Amino acid sequence: MINLELPQKLQNTRQMTHQLAESVFRPISRKYDRIEHCDTPEELHPVGQMAAGMRGGDGKKSGGDEVKNGANLQGIVSVEEMCWGDVGLMLSIPGQGLGNAAVQAVGTPEQKEKFGSLYCAMAITEPEAGSDSAAVQTTARLDGDEWVLNGEKIYCTAGQRCDAVVIWATLDKSQGKAAIKSFIVPRDNPGMKLVRVEDKMGLRVSDTAAFSLIECRIPYDHILGSPEIAQTEEERKKAFGGVMQTFDNTRPQVAAMALGVARAALEMTREILEKEGVAADFSKSLYNSSALEAEIYRMEADLDAARLMTWKAAWMADNGQANSKEASMCKAKAGRTGNAITLKCVELCGEAGYSEEQLLEKLARDSKIIDIFEGTQQIQQLIVARQQLGLSSSELK
């Protein structure tokens, strides 16, 4: 039955997470933006322990007949609230790396047991392979009962602070996508060297690491998924598709980050403007409202639309429906909306918006990366277009 409101259980989740964001994240948001490079902020250790206790959600039905509001939707709701507090801090919560999502998605029971409690980052991007993740040049070869990795990885979120990194590498460059596998490399492996931690425009507290892997040896059972290279076209599609499927679950999560950041900016803007007598109370039609009010209405419409799209993609995942297109649609909509809203809010609030006395300028710096990582705006549009048009990646490049 059509209902686009959250059930009480998820409203409680939202409220609890909001309290955390408000009491823990928001007060230290500016502080860590200035510090930028540091170990895991001490304030986040208790949050990490709490999150570890809650990980995965229960995925249980929350009422109704067959419809589940499970772990995916619950995750979305929490992520938006935490990012309302601070997106960089959320990404710095120990134990909540993207690598963890990969282990959960494709790991064997033994791997989940062994690495599940670690803080796992994910390293896909290389100096010569960004959006084109099939072009990774890092190699893996089997030597006895060990894998040996060689290559360079950049833009690895939480790479500095994590316990292990999930590294994408190819078993055979000549075999393309099908030969790309992921490997778990403990952070203290002597073959994996931290080269640097990037200085960034925004999202500063979240560490972004570069690694070099030189004859980096890991045990055989550290490969995620099958070590076989698919030989038929069908198998190849399936193998790489399996890896890419992780994104169907993570893209709505990243969309939710944009929702949180944008909502924070919009609320601050409303507050500042209300003090100056701008009400934006939906009492007049769009064009009979002031220009300021009209901007607020447009932003609220875009933000709410992006949120509903994100909820839909998560709801589909919770109910076992293929959601690749919806995941990309929500990421595209939320990514660009989040960026546009935060930038517009700075402008609407004038000097106050631009000043470091407020958080608006920081939100406008943080939001940009959300329209880039986990698939840029353009990559999402490619995916949506290919799905809608029924075209392959060799037809629609």
Partner 1 sequence: MDQDTPFDLSLTEEQRITRESMQRYARDVLREQARDADEAGALPSDFLGRAAELGLTLLPIPEAAGGAGMERSPLANMLNIEDLAWGDFSLALAMVTPRAFVNAVLDFGTEEQQRRFLEPLAREEFVPATVALMEGTATFEPSQLRTRARKTGDGYQIEGEKRLVPLGASAEQMLVVAHLEGEGPAAFVVEQGSAGLSAEEQSYMGLRAMETATVRLDGVTVPEDHRLPHFNLQRLVDLARIGTCALAVGSCQGVLDYVTPWVKDRKAFGEPIAYRQSVAFMVANINIELEAMRLLTWRAASRAEQGLDFHREAYLARVCCAEKAMEIGTNGVQLMGGHGFIRDNPVELWYRNLRSVGLLEGTAVV
The catalytic residues are 374
The answer to whether residue 14 forms part of the interface with partner 1 (CB under 8 A) is no
Distance CA(40)–CA(372), nearest Å, equals 24
- The answer to whether 75 and 253 are in contact (CB under 8 A) is yes
Among 46, 56, 59, 63, binds partner 1 (CB under 8 A): 63
Q: What's the gap between Cα 320 and its chain centre? A: 21
User: Which helix H or strand E contains 351, and what residues bound it?
Assistant: helix 350-354
- The answer to whether 253 and 331 are in contact (CB under 8 A) is no
* Cβ distance to partner 1 smaller for residue 194 or 244: 244
Among 21, 73, 101, 218, binds partner 1 (CB under 8 A): 73
Q: Minimum distance from CB of 388 to partner 1 (Å)? A: 5
For residue 326, which of 309, 308, 306 has the smallest C-alpha distance? 309
Q: Minimum distance from CB of 272 to partner 1 (Å)? A: 20
The answer to whether residue 295 forms part of the interface with partner 1 (CB under 8 A) is no
Distance CA(51)–CA(86), nearest Å, equals 16
The answer to whether residue 344 forms part of the interface with partner 1 (CB under 8 A) is no
CA angle 124, 127, 133 (to 5 degrees): 35
Among 193, 219, 385, 393, binds partner 1 (CB under 8 A): 385
Rounded to a whole number of angstroms, the distance between the first and last alpha carbons of the chain is: 39
- Taking CB under 8 A as the rule, which mask of x and - marks residues 299-328 in contact with partner 1? -xxx-xxx-xx-xx--x---------xx--
* Cβ distance to partner 1 smaller for residue 7 or 48: 7
* Cβ distance to partner 1 smaller for residue 1 or 199: 1
Q: Minimum distance from CB of 275 to partner 1 (Å)? A: 21
- The answer to whether 274 and 302 are in contact (CB under 8 A) is no
The answer to whether residue 50 forms part of the interface with partner 1 (CB under 8 A) is no
User: Which helix H or strand E contains 102, and what residues bound it?
Assistant: helix 98-106
Among 2, 39, 145, 320, binds partner 1 (CB under 8 A): 2
Residue 339 sits at φ, ψ, to 5 deg, of -70, -45
* Cβ distance to partner 1 smaller for residue 39 or 287: 287
User: Which helix H or strand E contains 186, and what residues bound it?
Assistant: strand 180-186
Q: Minimum distance from CB of 271 to partner 1 (Å)? A: 18
Distance CA(89)–CA(82), nearest Å, equals 8
Q: Minimum distance from CB of 238 to partner 1 (Å)? A: 25
- The answer to whether 43 and 109 are in contact (CB under 8 A) is no
Q: Minimum distance from CB of 126 to partner 1 (Å)? A: 24
**Residue ranges in contact with partner 1 by CB under 8 A:** 1-10, 61-64, 67-69, 73, 282-288, 297-298, 300-302, 304-306, 308-309, 311-312, 315, 325-326, 329, 332-333, 378, 380-382, 384-386, 388-391, 395-397
